Amino acid sequence: APPQPIEFVEAVHNLGYIDLYVGQHAKIFEKHGLTLHLTAAGGDTQAFAAVLGKTAQFAVGDPTMVEMSRERGGPGMVVGTLVQRAHYFGVSKTVAAPITNPKGFKGLTFVTSPDPNTNYSVTKKLMQDNGLKLGTDAKIIEVNPGTEIGAMLAGRADVAVAYQPNVAAAIAQGAKVVFDFSSYMGPFCNTGVMVLPEYAKAHPDVVQALVDALEESARLTYAKPDYAKQVARTEFPDVPGDVVDRAIDMELQYKIPAQTIPVDQKQWANLMSMQKYLGNVQASIAFGDVIDNQYADKAAKMAAAGGGTAVAAK
Amino acid sequence: MPESETPYSATGTPGKSGAPLTARNIGKTYGDDDDASPVIGDISFSLKAGEIVSLVGPSGCGKTTLLNLMSGLVRPTRGDVLWHGKPLTDVPKGIGYMLQKDMLMSWRTALANVTLGLELTGMPRAEREKKAHAMLYKVGLGPFHDYYPTALSGGMRQRVALARTLVTGPDVILLDEPFAALDFQTKVVLESDMAKLVRSDGRSVLLITHDVEEAVSLSDRVIVLTHRPSRIKAIHDIRLQGDRSDMMAMRDAPGFAALVRKIWSELDVRMAET
Amino acid sequence: MPESETPYSATGTPGKSGAPLTARNIGKTYGDDDDASPVIGDISFSLKAGEIVSLVGPSGCGKTTLLNLMSGLVRPTRGDVLWHGKPLTDVPKGIGYMLQKDMLMSWRTALANVTLGLELTGMPRAEREKKAHAMLYKVGLGPFHDYYPTALSGGMRQRVALARTLVTGPDVILLDEPFAALDFQTKVVLESDMAKLVRSDGRSVLLITHDVEEAVSLSDRVIVLTHRPSRIKAIHDIRLQGDRSDMMAMRDAPGFAALVRKIWSELDVRMAET
Amino acid sequence: MFEEASSAAPLDSSSRTLASVKRRRAWKRLRGRLAVLACQFGLLAVLLGLWQYATSKQALNAFLFGSPSEIWGFLVKMQEDGSLVHDAGVTGMETLLGFLLGNVIGTVLGLLLWYSRFVSKVVHPFVVALGSIPVVALAPLVIIWFGTGLASKLAMSTLSVVVVALVIAYKGATGVDDDQINLMRTLGAAKRQVFTKLVIPASLRDIFAGLKLTVGFALIGAILGEFMSSADGLGHAIFKAGSLYIIPKVFAGVVVTIVLALFLSFLVGRLERFLMPWHKFD
Amino acid sequence: MFEEASSAAPLDSSSRTLASVKRRRAWKRLRGRLAVLACQFGLLAVLLGLWQYATSKQALNAFLFGSPSEIWGFLVKMQEDGSLVHDAGVTGMETLLGFLLGNVIGTVLGLLLWYSRFVSKVVHPFVVALGSIPVVALAPLVIIWFGTGLASKLAMSTLSVVVVALVIAYKGATGVDDDQINLMRTLGAAKRQVFTKLVIPASLRDIFAGLKLTVGFALIGAILGEFMSSADGLGHAIFKAGSLYIIPKVFAGVVVTIVLALFLSFLVGRLERFLMPWHKFD
Ligand SMILES: Nc1ncnc2c1ncn2[C@@H]1O[C@H](COP(=O)(O)OP(=O)(O)OP(=O)(O)O)[C@@H](O)[C@H]1O
Ligand SMILES: Nc1ncnc2c1ncn2[C@@H]1O[C@H](COP(=O)(O)OP(=O)(O)OP(=O)(O)O)[C@@H](O)[C@H]1O
Ligand SMILES: [Mg+2]
Ligand SMILES: [Mg+2]
């Protein structure tokens, strides 16, 4: 059969999605009979909007969008995860010692993406959970996604809550990681693969092929970190090579990219509890109604059986 | 305002057929607030076919306003303007009006300005340009056909405006000081040309001028207006001997000088109390 | 171009003191491409203090251009304009120039248009308004001081422009057809007023007109220009008997009619070949 | 056919007292204004009605597009919790300041460029450049330079306005009739006087066109500034609602924005009438 | 003092042949143009030099602000890997289409509003509203309606242009002298003819002012569209570089954007000279 072309939207072009890029470079999607046309949206909402507007079949981004849509009677479904932890790091040039407890946020100014981006939400929740009053005990400035480290390096904040490769870039500029959100938060469904149920119903084989390919890619990423670095260097040619390498090392070290595609109950629960706390969702939809793990489970089973790393990474 | 207040009643019965354009007790007041200023008091007269009528009157008395009313551009506050017996509501076809300001279009050459009226009738390009060329030549601007208005002198602009008005061959021609910016010789030639054109074709001209000699030598009738709010102060039927289209000969005709003096005396100066 | 080609040499030695304004062999050509058109051929003359000089010539011959050169607004292509003996580079103080177009500012009332020149000298408001009121009254527009230009008639606008030029009391006054849009009476009154003003104060006037009678009755000298490229065709020193500031009396002076005829004949008509 | 050009209203020929003419005209004007208002509300009602109908019939998914009734609900809610007035106030203040700053800078520079053809030619490509920079792209720099407070919104708002104001003012200034400049020269005006007495008043019409145009830009600029970094304001509210995919709330924010724009542009119109008494308006 | 107003260049009084005058003037014009160019490059060089110096001396942090040499490096790199031409082509095409579409729609509507004072009054607040909608705020809706392909960029670009074009064209149309309309009426012009023969040519100056102004807007609109969703184009490159905090590349993208704007605005200038031969330019 001729390859099936699919429109695929990512929220932003982002090192967290390294699994996806590895799959592209290793031609894993082609192997599963798919030609991927990748478009970057300007954010999570736009990515999901592309699926809602049916200009794209798949989107990767914050899966909270799906929960919100479903709670308000809209469509949407999550068929897998791509980032399994909150991939934010607190980086700072001024804070000397690493912060182990969020109580240590006291007196500091954080810079994050605007509410309701997850780095904002996570930071805010941690502060409030630890009895810090926002605005007096600690401050958050909200800036355009990606510009957090700039604001921090320019001295407008103490700690930037940033993701890769900005974290690595900031480290190259002399900053240090002072707080590790990913470990503190634990499993977290940071990024989901989103699709319309009607599409999945009509094209289960395409969904299956995509999830199969992603599963295979995820395994390859963890199996061949050097290959992942190579992919990342070509995907982000403008970022200095050593920064990219360090970023990938950190990503893998903190187990941020999905190791396997099925959405874990715990990951979802963590996400939901935070979003509910923030008032963005009611978390009223049952796990099984939002998440359709059937494709991913099948893919994982097959990969575990040894199909996965068969693609030779040169 | 009762008709009896008009010092002179109109020549010819207003609205009678044969008179293409008639003013019936028209009046015009500018401004509708407390500072309403009446400009035209109460004026009635007719313009007959084949006739040249001049309007003379002190500066600011309302001559231009009167022509605007007669052309249908502006509606009178009182009274009616009749076009072949019917009240005017818009500028009728068959009227040509040369405004006091030349209003040439800066983006058109002299020639293209002249063709404007013909263009509006849908005449083919070659034909209208031929006509316009001929008319430009007549007003002495043949070689300047491709000049843009900014490169023309005041008098040349005025002649282009005149050519634009005449080229469409209107039956009734309203002219607001058409020769004011022209030297004596050019003026006389154009006056003679126009007199011939009008009288031979049975067209009519209503003309504003400050030059009483011009008025007398050119017209069949001279209407003298008062200060504003203007009314008709006097109407002179000009019955001079000789070739009525030879402007120089007219000036030497018996009775010419006397008529001019008479009209001058009627236009008495009341400066600084206008 | 050698001086000998000029048909008439200037009255008075160019540049001699006592002549505030002198043209020395000036010429002007428009356009610098292949279609260069010479407008002023070669003109020399002086304007002396206390003198009124008229320029007459066919429409489009270059009178306005000449005045632009004399005022310093435009530089000649050839020759020099001397202001009290020194070449002009910009409009000098002490010159007043009334352009052919009235150029009133639509955002200023009649009064505010007249005060403009005084405002530029920094005169206090009360004083300049007093002067402007007086000048507006003189030109017969006292009651219209608060009218915006759009509510003024053509002749009224011209009078505002005249008032604006005269109110600053310039020594040398250049006027481009200042009375063209005025009725005879108003014109005569303004001419007389101006003649008095100029002759009593030793000011000078250089004036363009199409009205040869006006030129003869008003001026000390009449310069007749040829077609373009214009040169001086004739210069007439007017030496009439009687009160030189009574325009009506002048017209009846012995020799007046003959002079007018002579000048008319010099302005021969060469229409359609301009 | 040409009603708007003829200076007098058509009246029948029976003579009438001035007072009655005046009364009639005032009434006519009022009636005209009421007719305009009626049409505007009618149009609005039809649009909203169609929208509401379409969403209620599921022809349009209300989740995707919101519906007027939901939007109204959010407006009421925002009014009740005070955020409407607060956010509109914050954004309105940013807009007003940016509008004033941008127009003052732009207009003054644009008019001043009249002084020298040479400088204006030299500067021209830089102005085009400034006018084509997608400032949103420079978000990182804007935040570093102007911080995350009022200054950055002001900068965005000002930047959105300044180029338009400059270009329009310059066009107005250079559009002044050469003959009128000549007239000023004959009156002995120094260049500075030509500028103040002629160029500025003659450019007013253009300047006001610029002012009317830039009301919207100032507002959009302020909102973009709030997108970059903010704690409150309409942009913040809209952006947050957008990220949460609460479309009716996005629209509610847009509605408030529009009302703000209409209010500001009304003020500009008043100012114009006040400053240009010689100009015909209707 | 008033060099630009006097129509003839000052020449000394010795008589000269026309040919030599012509040669001199051509040379003068050329020299004038060279002087302008020299000043522009000088200005640019000084700006870039200062910037480079400041970053090399650590007065400015090159990581936060980029430096001209780094920007140049990225430009070379983009040229070498072909992305410069490709991205500029994509964005240029979006811009051009949006520019044309927006201006055609806006100008046509703006001019047509001349036909009826009533309709224009009714429509006025809707235009203001349209001009003040922060379209970026509606990103999700834009994507739902127009997708992630060319259409959404076109929509953004068109929307950024259309209101300005409309307002400016309308201002031009209503600015036509009443007396000139009267003249047309005396020549028996139907309203449609007044429109085509008078209103349109008389508005050209304003329309071109609008065109020049909207070049930048069309470009910014296209880039905003690419920010919302894209696979290539300058906006994509800039946005990506921005989110990775590679400031010099952001600037490199902005530089290409500016060059594109200058090129388009140069084209508009040519068109203007071609369509308005009676107009004085210099
Ligand atoms: N910018 C220009 N380019 C080319 N020719 C011009 C330009 N300005 C004026 N001319 C020409 O110069 C000639 C003289 O013009 P000028 O205005 O001086 O005439 P004038 O004697 O004042 O005429 P009038 O009595 O009609 O006002 C005219 O033939 C005109 O076409
Ligand atoms: N829009 C207006 N508002 C108020 N008054 C006006 C308006 N238009 C004209 N007027 C007045 O009407 C009077 C007559 O003007 P009009 O132009 O008809 O005079 P005119 O006889 O043609 O004068 P001229 O010989 O100077 O051209 C003038 O006094 C003028 O001030
Ligand atoms: Mg008049
Ligand atoms: Mg002239």
**Residues written for chain D:** 282
Nearest residue by C-alpha to atom 6 in ligand 2: C151
Q: A252 and A222 in contact (C-beta within 8 Å)?
A: yes
- Over residues D124-151, mean pLDDT: 81
Which structure tokens are listed for A153?
A: 């390096």
- Side by side, the strands of the sheet bearing A58-61 are A77-85, A187-195, A58-61, A4-10, A34-41, E229-230
List chain B residues with CB under 8 Å of E202: 105, 107
Q: How far apart are CA D28 and CA D47, in angstroms?
A: 29
Whole-number pLDDT of residue B33: 62
Pairs of residues, one from chain B and one from chain D, whose beta carbons lie less than 8 Å apart: 32
Residue E282 lies in a domain: no
B57 lines ligand 1 (CB under 6 A): no
Kindly report, residue by residue over C121-166, the tens digit of the pLDDT. 989 999 999 999 999 998 889 889 999 999 899 999 999 999 999 9
C-alpha distances (whole Å) from A196 to each of A69, A281, B246 are 11, 19, 94
Which one is predicted more confidently, E57 or C171? C171
Domain with D75 in it: what CATH number? 1.10.3720.10
| Contact assignment for C183 to B159 by CB distance below 8 Å | no
Whole-number pLDDT of residue C274: 36
C-alpha distances (whole Å) from B180 to each of C64, C180, C209, C262 are 15, 6, 10, 22
Pair E164, E135 in one domain: yes
In the chain, the amino acid numbered C92 is P
Q: E66 and E242 in contact (C-beta within 8 Å)?
A: no
DSSP state, residue C152: S
Which structure tokens are listed for B242?
A: 């000789």
Confidence grade of residue B258 (pLDDT, cut at 50, 70, 90): confident
Whole-number pLDDT of residue B7: 39
Q: What is the percent of chain D with per-residue pLDDT over 90, rounded to a whole number?
A: 25
Whole-number pLDDT of residue A306: 67
The verdict on whether omega for the bond into residue B229 sits within 30 degrees of 0, i.e. cis, is yes
Whole-number pLDDT of residue E20: 64
Q: How far apart are CA A243 and CA A258, in angstroms?
A: 21
Pair E36, E107 in one domain: no
Pairs of residues, one from chain B and one from chain E, whose beta carbons lie less than 8 Å apart: 54
Whole-number pLDDT of residue C8: 41
Domain covering C3-94+205-273 in this structure, CATH number: 3.40.50.300
Which one is predicted more confidently, B10 or B174? B174
CA E248 to chain centre: 25
Confidence grade of residue D6 (pLDDT, cut at 50, 70, 90): very low
For D246, residues 6+ apart whose C-beta sits below 8 A from its C-beta are A68
In the chain, the amino acid numbered A68 is M
Q: How far apart are CA D143 and CA A293, in angstroms?
A: 42
Checking if the pLDDT of D156 tops 70, the result is yes
Supply the mean pLDDT for chain B: 84
Q: C113 and C158 in contact (C-beta within 8 Å)?
A: no
Q: What is the dihedral of CA D137, D140, D143, D146, to 10 degrees?
A: -70
* Diameter of chain E measured on Cα atoms: 75
Pair E17, E83 in one domain: no
User: Total structural domains in chain E?
Assistant: 2
Give the helix, strand, coil percentages of chain D, each rounded to 5.
80, 0, 20
Q: How far apart are CA A308 and CA B227, in angstroms?
A: 106
Q: How far apart are CA E27 and CA E21, in angstroms?
A: 10
Q: DSSP string spanning D217-241?
A: HHHHHHHHHHHHS-SSSHHHHHHHH
Candidate ranges B27-36, B122-131, C186-195, E10-19; pick with highest mean pLDDT: B122-131
Residue from A142, A161, A274 whose CB has the most chain D CBs within 10 Å, to mutate: A142
Pair E96, E2 in one domain: no
Whole-number pLDDT of residue B272: 36
Residue D16 lies in a domain: yes
Pair E55, E86 in one domain: no
Which structure tokens are listed for C196?
A: 């008095």
Nearest to D178 by CA among C206, C151, B181, C74: C74
Pair E44, E73 in one domain: no
Checking if the pLDDT of B55 tops 80, the result is yes
Residue D280 lies in a domain: no
Whole-number pLDDT of residue D59: 59
List chain D residues with CB under 8 Å of A135: none
Q: How far apart are CA E30 and CA C263, in angstroms?
A: 48
Q: C187 and B58 in contact (C-beta within 8 Å)?
A: no
B153 lines ligand 1 (CB under 6 A): yes
- Over residues A149-159, mean pLDDT: 85
Kindly report, residue by residue over B130-144, the tens digit of the pLDDT. 999 999 998 889 889
Checking if the pLDDT of E28 tops 70, the result is yes
Pair D44, D179 in one domain: no
| Contact assignment for E243 to A154 by CB distance below 8 Å | no
Which structure tokens are listed for B139?
A: 């007003």
- Over residues A299-308, mean pLDDT: 73
Q: Would you kindly state where each structural domain of chain C is located, as residue ranges?
A: 3-94+205-273
Q: Strands, E, within chain B: which ranges?
A: 21-30, 37-47, 52-56, 78-83, 86-87, 95-98, 172-176, 204-208, 221-225, 230-237
| Contact assignment for B103 to E189 by CB distance below 8 Å | no
Whole-number pLDDT of residue D42: 93
Q: A78 and A290 in contact (C-beta within 8 Å)?
A: yes
Strand bridging mode A159-162 / A89-92:
antiparallel
Strand bridging mode B221-225 / B230-237:
antiparallel
Residue indicated by tokens 């009687």: C242
Whole-number pLDDT of residue D9: 37
Checking if the pLDDT of D220 tops 60, the result is yes
Pair D174, D216 in one domain: yes
Chains A and E touch (3+ CB pairs under 8 A): yes
Specify the range with the lowest mean pLDDT, choosing from A279-293, B68-82, E54-68, E200-214. E54-68
Q: Which atom of ligand 1 is nearest to the CA of C274?
A: 29
Q: How far apart are CA D182 and CA C103, in angstroms?
A: 10
In the chain, the amino acid numbered B65 is T
Q: A221 and A22 in contact (C-beta within 8 Å)?
A: yes
Pair D79, D180 in one domain: yes
Which structure tokens are listed for E107?
A: 């100008």
| Domain assignment of residue E26, given as a range | 1-60
CB hemisphere CA count around B233 (13 angstroms) = 19
Q: What is the dihedral of CA A279, A282, A283, A284, to 10 degrees?
A: 180
Q: Which residues of E127-152 are buried (b: 16+ CB within 10 A; e: fewer)?
A: bbbbbbbbbbbbbbbbbbbbbbebeb
- Give the Å distance between the CA of E196 and the centre of ligand 3: 29
Q: D101 and D153 in contact (C-beta within 8 Å)?
A: no
List residues, by chain if needed, whose CB lies under 5 Å from ion ligand 3.
B 64, 100; C 153-154
Kindly report, residue by residue over A52-88, the tens digit of the pLDDT. 888 889 999 888 888 888 887 788 899 999 998 888 8
Pair E26, E126 in one domain: no
Q: Residue C65 CA: which ligand is closest?
A: 1
**Residue D46 CB neighbours (<10 A):** 10
Nearest to A59 by CA among A193, A211, A190: A193
Q: How far apart are CA C23 and CA C81, in angstroms?
A: 5
Q: How far apart are CA B185 and CA C264, in angstroms?
A: 8
ipTM for the complex?
Answer: 0.85
Supply the mean pLDDT for chain D: 83
- Over residues B145-172, mean pLDDT: 91
B249 lines ligand 1 (CB under 6 A): no
Residue D28 lies in a domain: yes
C-alpha distances (whole Å) from D247 to each of A45, A272, B215, E140 are 11, 21, 77, 9
Pair E5, E41 in one domain: yes
Q: What is the CA radius of gyration of chain A?
A: 19
Bridge partners (DSSP) of residue C38 are: C29
Whole-number pLDDT of residue B12: 40
Confidence grade of residue B274 (pLDDT, cut at 50, 70, 90): very low
B151 lines ligand 1 (CB under 6 A): yes
- Over residues A105-127, mean pLDDT: 83
Q: How far apart are CA A190 and CA A85, in angstroms?
A: 6
**Residue B242 CB neighbours (<10 A):** 12
- Give the Å distance between the CA of B100 and the centre of ligand 3: 6
Q: Which residues of A83-108 are buried (b: 16+ CB within 10 A; e: fewer)?
A: bbbbbbbbbbbebeeebeebebbeeb
Residues in chain C with pLDDT < 70? 1-18, 32-35, 269-274
Residue D109 lies in a domain: yes
Q: A33 and E130 in contact (C-beta within 8 Å)?
A: no
Question: Helices D234-243 & A44-52, crossing angle to 10 degrees?
Answer: 50
Pair E215, E243 in one domain: yes
C30 lines ligand 1 (CB under 6 A): yes
Q: E215 and D132 in contact (C-beta within 8 Å)?
A: yes
Nearest to C41 by CA among C72, C10, C11, C3: C3
Specify the range with the lowest mean pLDDT, choosing from B27-36, B57-66, B182-191. B27-36
Q: How far apart are CA D204 and CA D277, in angstroms?
A: 12
The verdict on whether omega for the bond into residue E125 sits within 30 degrees of 0, i.e. cis, is no
